[in-house]
Structure 1
Amino acid sequence: MSAPLITILDDEAGVRQVLSDALEEAGFQTMGFGRATEFEAALRRVTPDVCLVDLSLPDKDGLTLVHRLALELGAAVIIISGRAQVQDRVTGLELGADDYITKPFDPAEVVARVRARLRKDRAQPLNSSNTAKFNGWTAHFDRYVLEDQHGDETTFSHAEGEVLRLFLDSPKRLINRAQMQETLGGAAGESFDRAMDVRISRLRTKLQEDPKNPRLIKTIYGAGYIFLGDVSWV
């Protein structure tokens, strides 16, 4: 089995070299790119396991690229950026990124985050089907699409799909933050909690939930979440 491929998109050659050295020493293959156009051209030839993406790119907006990677390609995306503001983190997660690391960073931490991401991706889901029906909705995990009872479709990101699948695999059971962190990967703490809050909020919006009284994804304050739908896998 070939080593996982990690792509690095950053306009600073020094950053690319540091990341490449650390990841290759850890046993990964890497490809580095200084411009978004070069990276997008390479995606027609290769399929990375994880994409490391800087937001400050010379030729394209990094957030727009993250959104495309997450929604159109279903790629695992970790943002590495000098933008440390909370709003930048929130926006990146809302657009579908799986994790957010701020510069300056410890290369060992990046390697650890990549490993955690790959462990989670390789974990077998409780149900191997890619389609689930619940309360008038159909979730197509092979296409990252939610379909309502009228056939109208709404896309969801790779990261949002992971949370939705976790709920659909364990309906009417309490799922606490520790279980979510163990299943979904990522570093525990405020950053992980914020990422989950963002993804659950976006899922509720796409499921047309009343934010003040959601019917499907209920928050049990101080305990976790519970999904109240009736789920059938097809």
Structure 2
Amino acid sequence: MRGDSPAHIVVVEDDAGVRALLTRILRECGYEVTGAADGNELEAAMAARPIDLILLDITLPGTNGLELCRAIRARSKVPIVMVSARGQESDRVVGLDLGADDYIAKPFGRPELLARVRAVLRRASDLHVPLDVPAPDHFDFAGWRYHARRRELIAPNGAAVELTAAEQELLLTLLRHPQRMISRERLLEMSRSRIGHSTDRSIDVQVSRLRRKLGDGRRSPPMIRTIRGVGYMFAADVTRS
């Protein structure tokens, strides 16, 4: 995913009805989707614009999905989820050995499809967010200043804003990685020492409280943006010193 743009997913499925169904489900969840009926249309989609994930059916006319997976992986690290009615273990093993990131056997439900898509996108984005980026002393953003060593947040009017330990940790994590999407799971991992209940919901609650203290609900666009179905991004420009 690039910036705060929704993930672009290519659905490679020769059955027009199934392809339309998968495309509709993914679009309803905020993803950008391109349909492809075979390997040639997939190649055209890859040449046209960046792709964040490929849903790749095995049984395709011409070059099958396994061969396409092998060819794609030889030149690209784009996440691939194999999709097929062939649910035998041997097929799954071959697909994963060729470089697929996950495998869904037909028939499958909407919740499983979306959960697997979200999980693969999270893993792909998390590879680019290191845990050990050192923090500078000061962060300046949108008129605010955060003193990392003093653990002090100063509003644009010069007033100090009190934050809980968990809110301090969350804000520092976001400020250390501006303009980058961070999944809920990664935020938990990066802020775990301060956030007591390690669940997606606990992160959502902390983000809501932090937004309120930053007056983010009155800003357009907000400083802390929600990346639907994935996590959050600190979108304001940050200066470090």
Q: What CA distance in whole angstroms lies between the structure 2 residues aligned with 1:97 and 1:27?
A: 24
State the alpha-carbon separation in 2 of the partners of residues 127 and 12 from structure 1: 46
Amino acid at match of 1:113: R
Letter of the 1:44 counterpart: A
**105, 130, 142: which one pairs with 1:125?**
130
Give the paired residue count.
Answer: 130
Aligned sequence identity (%): 40
Contact 1:70 1:76 survives alignment (8 Å): no
For 1:30-49, list aligned pairs within 5 A.
30-49=33-52
Any stretches of 5+ residues in structure 2 without a counterpart? 134-187, 190-241
CA distance in 1 between partners of 2:29 and 2:74 (Å): 29
Between structure 1 and structure 2, the one with the greater Rg is: 2
Match of 1:73, SS state, is coil
Letter in 1 for 2:28: E
For 2:47, what is the secondary structure of its paired residue?
Answer: coil
Name the amino acid aligned to 2:130.
Answer: P
Which residue, out of 11, 14, 37, partners 1:11? 14
Match of 1:74 in 2: 77
CA contact (8 A) 2:10 2:45 kept: no
Q: Quickly say closer, same or farther: Cα 1:12–1:127, change in 2 above 3 A.
A: farther
- TM-aligned CA deviation for residue 108 of structure 1: 2.2
Give 3-state SS (helix, strand or coil) of 2:11's partner: strand
Aligned to 2:117: 114
Kindly indicate whether residue 32 of structure 2 is the aligned counterpart of residue 29 of structure 1.
Answer: yes
Rounded Cα–Cα distance in structure 2 between residues aligned with 1:122 and 1:91: 25
User: Per the alignment, in what secondary structure is the counterpart of residue 30 of structure 1?
Assistant: strand
Partner of 1:56: 59
Q: TM-score, normalised by structure 1?
A: 0.52
Helix, strand or coil: the match of 1:43? helix
Change (3 A) 1:107 1:58: same
Output the amino acid matched with 1:15. V
Where 1:27 maps in the other structure, the secondary structure is: coil
